[in-house]
Amino acid sequence: MKREMTKEEKELAEAGYQDLVEEKVQGHKGSDTALDGVDIREHGLAFDALEAELDTTFDHKDPTQSSGLSADEAKARLARDGQNVLTPPKKKSALRKYWDCLVTMFNILLIIAGILEYILLGVDFKDNFANTYLGGILIGVAFLNALIEFYQLQKSEAILASFLAMIPPSSRVVRDGALTTVPAADLVKGDIVLVRSGDKTPADLVIFSASDLKVDNSSLTGESEAQERFARPEGAPARPVEADNLLFNSTLVVNGEGWGVVVRTGDHTLIGQIAALTGTESGKKSPLAVEIGRFVMMVSAIAIVFAVVFFVVGITTAYKGKGEQTVTFAVSILVAFVPEGLPSVVTLLLSIAAKRMAAQNVLVKDLQGVETLGLTLLATDKTGTLTRNQMTVTNLWSGLRMFTAFQSNNDTETTEAFAIDAPGMREMVDVAALNSHVKFDRSDLPFDRRKILGDATETGLIRFAGKHISDYDRYQKQHARVFEIPFNSSNKWALVILEKAHKGGLLTAYLKGAPERVLAKCSTYLMNGEEVPITDEFRAKYDEAYDYMASRGHRVIACAQKLLSSDVYAPNFEFSKTDTQYPSSEYCFCGLISLEDPPKHGVREAIGTLRLAGIKVMMVTGDHPKTAEAIARKINLILGETKETLSKKTGRPVDEIYEDEVDAVVIHGDDIDSLQGWQWDQIFAKNEIVFARTSPQHKLEIVKRAQALGHIVGVTGDGVNDSPALKKADLGIAMNISGSDVSKEAANMILLDDNFASTVKGVAEGRQIFVNLKRSIQYTISHSTPEVIPQLLYVVVPIPLPLSAILILVIDLGFELFVALSFAWDKPETEDGLMRMAPRKPVNDNSITALKKRALRRTKTLRRDPETNEIIRPSRFAQFMLRVKAPFTRLFWEDALERSDNETLVDSKLLSYAYLEAGMIEMIGALVAYFVVFFKNGFTPSDLRTAQKALTATPSITYFEKSSPDFINSRGETISASKQVDALAQAQSIVYLSIFIIQCFNVFAVKAKFRFPFGRSIVGNYYNFAGIVAGACLGMFIIYTPPLHVVFGGSVHLSPLYWLIPVAFGILLLAWASIRVVLLRKGVEQARVKDIKGLMMFPTMRTMSMRSRH
């Protein structure tokens, strides 16, 4: 539909896509000197010399007849030369890793605080002797914290290594005359190897037979274009890196296939010899790590500010110039604010989650990147991902007649049963059989018992053709190939010219591929054995037949032939594809063949579940739009109307249907290059999207466009054509069994069982990790308020110190650490709770508009060269100054305070709950228990104030020490020094225990979002209880063990009856959590994804020839 847009609307629509238009990919250049110095010379040998050098034999005319090495000889060579593996890149030493864990912000603060305590000890040893323990514990805690984090990181690396060992690279090799698959590590010099499009080259090979073979050498040489490789019988005299008959270890085969002999393995390969090219560890941080780092810096800054403020207040009031005591007090404030155990908790949470995901056949390569499972859009390939990749020929159409090759009750009455002697059928079978690239595992077995090595479409066609050819092998040899152009994703057709005699000559050309591409090369069609010119009537019948096949979700292949005249194409004619020296037009159209590839079991429910989770799922396929749409309708991907289907229903022209009338769109790949910014916006605004007839470049463009709108994009795929998009996506998901080495290399996540439904498990796990991490942080920082406010009262009121710095440390690194770690094993609060909530960073009209406005502002402020219009990048100093000035501009604060629907790890709701809600309840509970214990020991609140104020009076009197004078309370009772000391010890002990007891209730309160903090889902994590029991044991041990009182304080006289006070406040906290659930329920309900009308959530049954209902 055409529409006029204002200049402002056009500018806004294009904003955000500018970077994509101006993006220039620059390949890194390999070091020429390093590449020149490699020791590889076999590529210069002729085939005979090469065989003698490597003590092996191969047949360069018919590679399938090569005998290769024997199993025993290969075993002996493996023992002699070692495994075909590269020495791993140098990693950080264990000491360096430990150092990295130690120098985090939290640990640095603790170490500085500990050193300060020891400096005070040096200033006045006698008065500050107690600081010996505090300083030692602070420094010890930093080292222990780093040790825990280091241990968890080492465990995580071990888990990851064990995961990657599950998918060892393999290669096709000829041993004892049979083509077999062996681990790439077992390859030896002299092995005969077959490589195909999508493979990663397993060793350095000299090619002795190739068919349109192209490799991507960019990782070695920086050449961005794929390089063609040929067989050179006399050898190639060029240096190794320029030799066009050499394939290098780890390079990617992007087109065609080739046979090669292994000349170098392991560290002797080109990549093994160039140390500079063996990568080192990446220092890139994941979004989660960045978010946690930001939180750590924020908390540290708050802690430092409060410590400094309290130091100033303390030295001017409570301590009156006593600097040493004020420093210790400021340190206790610092310690109260810093959640020391958080880094260890994060690492443990992620490694536990990755283990759980591996158990569900989801392998995550990067543990820190697991939170990218918070996808907003999933672009999925069709063949092999959504469908089973098991093709069966169903229908054939030739000479305007439709035939069925598969027993089905869904064909029309006019459809005839397939018969090989029917007009056009023999030609179709010949094209299927002779224009093929399949190989067999063994050629000594009957045809129907052989395993076919090839892609699903080729396999389906050969299985069908083989049934109607009496001796398949003899038929192939009878018609030798003269020239061929294999299928690739750009041409979308394959051509073969063979020795097949006819009336006008000795050669015949067979063409097969995408119907529209094949038809474009034809001028006639086959009708009852005669070539008839193509007419408009034929094209209408062709469209009808195509629609018949594609609307059933079948893949459609077209066949054509050209009987080459001896006058033009003599038997010795030199064909070449570089200068189009081959027949490229005037073909005779033989017909259409349709194959069905049924959807995989569980795909329909998986897509339904993802859509109910607020994730937009779209199909990006190379298939015809009709086929893609038919499959999409079977698997919940399209439920509504497209403009075309609505046009058919209503009889209105497509151009008269408005965008807001339809919710689904099917885009043809040919239209992608001409789409404008506003059209991309319209496409992504739809809920149901299918891109058909796409090339690898189109897939990459689609991913980039979606990311430009703020989408967190996941891409699933299994082929070499998916790898650029997999690499660019926020989360690349590859298939393990059917996936090519290239796709697995590019992906961040691998589905070990090739089950698309495992993606749902991955997304659910990713969301649960985020929730568990959030709960853990919420729980951990809830104790800051009851630790800090009593310290404030100590200075301001004043009252005796309610909690010492050492006891604060025991809270943070004692029971808190145990319980915070136990959140890792939390299960979802409700059965579908998380999978019915929108993604945490949803993409909607508001977020897109805000993003585009910022992008538009950015593009308008960029300086451009007046002649070339290229962007002039500001200098580093200019960028620094811009960042310095930014907080003083209105735009900075507009952007910072702009309302967003994004949910961050630490947001205002979490801080409000931790510091103002649960924190205040815990603080009041601890102080009530504190005052009750003192009251029972003879001190009213006013007595406590009087006793503490005596410290700053003239003369100064210090109470609550062993050498203190007797204290006379408001009731006239005399309290001795020993009773004062015991009263303070009991009071501090009950504050410590109160925080512990109320935090035990908080474990369940922080989980209450959808439901009240009771029930199996909330209390079902037994590790929570294990953490509570461990914390309780630690608390009892510290408070009631007399030898520890020297360090921690504590009193054996504290009655367990006092525990009832914090228990009551714990119950109050649960009551508040329940009220909070009720208050926030409306918002939670609104955040839930609404039901989608028409979703089919029943199992995907075999859908062979099941016609989709529009």
Enumerate the active-site residues: 381
Torsion of CA 124, 127, 130, 134, to 10 degrees: -50
Give the Cα separation of 939 and 968 in Å (integer).
Answer: 9
In 205-286, where does DSSP find H-type helix? 218-221, 270-273
Q: Do residues 625 and 693 touch, judged by C-beta distance below 8 A?
A: yes
Q: What is the largest CA-CA distance in the chain?
A: 130
What backbone phi and psi angles, to 5 degrees, belong to 41? -130, -10
DSSP one-letter code for 873: P
Q: Do residues 662 and 688 touch, judged by C-beta distance below 8 A?
A: no
DSSP one-letter code for 567: T
Name the residue among 688, 739, 731 with its Cα closest to residue 1095: 688
The letter for the amino acid at 607 is: I
Q: Do residues 253 and 195 touch, judged by C-beta distance below 8 A?
A: yes
In 635-783, where does DSSP find H-type helix? 643-650, 669-672, 677-685, 696-708, 723-728, 741-746, 758-781
Name the residue among 448, 751, 454 with its Cα closest to residue 606: 751
Question: 724: Cβ–Cβ under 8 A, 6 or more apart, which residues?
Answer: 696, 697, 699, 700, 746
For residue 1069, give the H/E element and its range: helix 1060-1087
Question: 733: Cβ–Cβ under 8 A, 6 or more apart, which residues?
Answer: 714, 715, 716, 717, 726, 747, 748, 749, 750, 751, 759, 762
| Helical pair 7-14 and 845-861, crossing angle rounded to 10 deg | 100
DSSP one-letter code for 66: -
For residue 263, give the H/E element and its range: strand 252-264
Question: 888: Cβ–Cβ under 8 A, 6 or more apart, which residues?
Answer: none
What backbone phi and psi angles, to 5 degrees, belong to 497? -115, 125
Measured in residues, the chain has a length of 1110
For residue 608, give the H/E element and its range: helix 603-612
Q: How far is CA 507 from the centre of its chain?
A: 51
Name the residue among 467, 501, 623 with its Cα closest to residue 557: 623
For residue 178, give the H/E element and its range: strand 178-183
β-partners of residue 509 are 497, 562
β-partners of residue 561 are 510, 588
Q: How far is CA 791 from CA 332, 926, 960, in A?
A: 9, 12, 17
Q: Do residues 229 and 207 touch, judged by C-beta distance below 8 A?
A: yes
Q: Do residues 318 and 798 touch, judged by C-beta distance below 8 A?
A: yes
DSSP string, 443-496: SSS-GGGSPEES-HHHHHHHHHHHHT-S-HHHHHHHS-EEEEE---TTT-EEEE
| 632 CB burial (10 A radius; 0-12, 13-18, 19+) | buried
The token duo for 323 is 């600097």
Give the Cα separation of 411 and 414 in Å (integer).
Answer: 8
